[in-house]
């Protein structure tokens, strides 16, 4: 008989859980919380109100945004969802759950202050040896991919372009000789008739069967 580990999803915690114990000691969440505690909050806009629902502390919102950005979470709705589903985010948010509208309003009202605070946290991380700061230079060179719209050509159009390069008139308004046609007197025809037959055969292949014998050298659609 198999032996399984017993489990019970209805079992409540016997003691209040400590979220810090659920994360490694070197987790980034611990550093973000400690670094944001050293950031001055004088530049942040705090609405002065005494009544109504209590508002979240700017230090908590700042730590939540910085940790979310560091982990590639930028949407306010995803940040709100992470406060329920991510243990590290729950630790940073002190087990609170700011809704996405609150996150968006705080970010929009304190854009410059958040950028300055983010820079301070990065400098603290460099001093602690957690990251290396450098410079990445880019230019405006544009390189088309193999599947770009400029390089992608439908099959019928590509065939027509290839045949168009093969059969070109000698002068505008005149149907000239096809490059692949056989000259007069060549094998398969004698005299002018043989050359005309060679031209007609080449133009027939170029036009897909239309205009055979009429000297059309330009495929349809081009």
216 is written with which tokens?
Answer: 């059309």
Phi-psi region of 188 (alpha: psi -120 to 50; beta: other; left: phi over 0): left
pLDDT digit string, tens, across residues 113-137? 999 999 999 888 888 887 766 666 6
pLDDT at residue 165 tops 80:
no
Distance CA 127, CA 159 (A): 62
Angle 82-86-91 from CA coordinates, rounded to 5°:
100
In whole angstroms, how far apart are CA 29 and each of 16, 47, 54?
Answer: 20, 27, 25
pLDDT digit string, tens, across residues 76-93? 999 999 999 999 999 999
Q: What is the pLDDT of residue 213?
A: 45
The DSSP symbol for 100 reads: H
Q: What is the pLDDT of residue 155?
A: 66
Give the chain's length.
222
Distance CA 222, CA 204 (A): 16
Average pLDDT, the chain: 76
pLDDT digit string, tens, across residues 53-73? 888 999 999 999 999 999 999
pLDDT digit string, tens, across residues 178-201? 554 455 444 444 444 444 444 444
Query: pTM for this structure?
Result: 0.57
30 is written with which tokens?
Answer: 């611990």
Share of the chain above pLDDT 90, in %: 38
For 95-98, which contacts have Cβ atoms below 8 Å and span 24 or more sequence positions? 95/19, 96/56, 96/60, 98/56, 98/61, 98/64
More confident residue, 105 or 150: 105
CB–CB of 207/200 below 8 Å? no
CB–CB of 68/79 below 8 Å? yes
Q: Whose CA is closest to 64, among 42, 40, 84?
A: 84
Q: Whose CA is closest to 193, among 206, 208, 181?
A: 181
Q: Could you give the residue ranges of the DSSP H alpha helices within the chain?
A: 28-36, 58-70, 76-85, 87-92, 100-109, 111-127, 155-166, 191-207
Residue with tokens 């198999």: 2
Domain ranges of the chain: 19-47+55-127, 155-207
Distance CA 168, CA 160 (A): 12
Q: Residue 66: exposed, middle, or buried by beta-carbon count in 10 A (0-12, 13-18, 19+)? A: buried
Q: Is residue 90 within a helix (H) or strand (E), and if so which, with residue range?
A: helix 87-92
């Amino acid at each position: 008989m198999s032996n399984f580990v017993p489990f019970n999803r209805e079992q409540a915690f016997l003691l209040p859980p400590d979220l810090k114990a659920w994360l490694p000691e070197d987790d980034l969440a611990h550093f973000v919380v400690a670094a944001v505690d050293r950031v001055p909050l004088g530049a942040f806009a705090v609405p002065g109100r005494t009544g109504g629902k209590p508002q979240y502390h700017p230090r908590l919102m700042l730590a939540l945004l910085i940790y979310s950005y560091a982990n590639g979470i930028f949407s306010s709705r995803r940040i709100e969802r992470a406060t329920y589903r991510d243990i590290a985010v729950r630790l940073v948010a002190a087990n609170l759950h700011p809704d996405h509208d609150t996150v968006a309003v705080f970010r929009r009202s304190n854009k410059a202050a958040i950028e300055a605070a983010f820079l301070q946290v990065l400098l603290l991380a460099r001093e602690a040896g957690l990251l290396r700061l450098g410079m990445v230079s880019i230019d405006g060179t544009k390189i088309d991919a193999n599947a770009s719209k400029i390089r992608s050509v439908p099959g019928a159009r590509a065939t027509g372009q290839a045949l168009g390069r093969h059969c070109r008139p000698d002068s505008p308004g005149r149907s000239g000789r096809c490059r692949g046609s056989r000259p007069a007197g060549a094998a398969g025809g004698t005299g002018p008739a043989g050359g005309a037959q060679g031209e007609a055969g080449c133009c027939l292949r170029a036009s897909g069967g239309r205009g055979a014998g009429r000297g059309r050298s330009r495929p349809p659609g081009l």
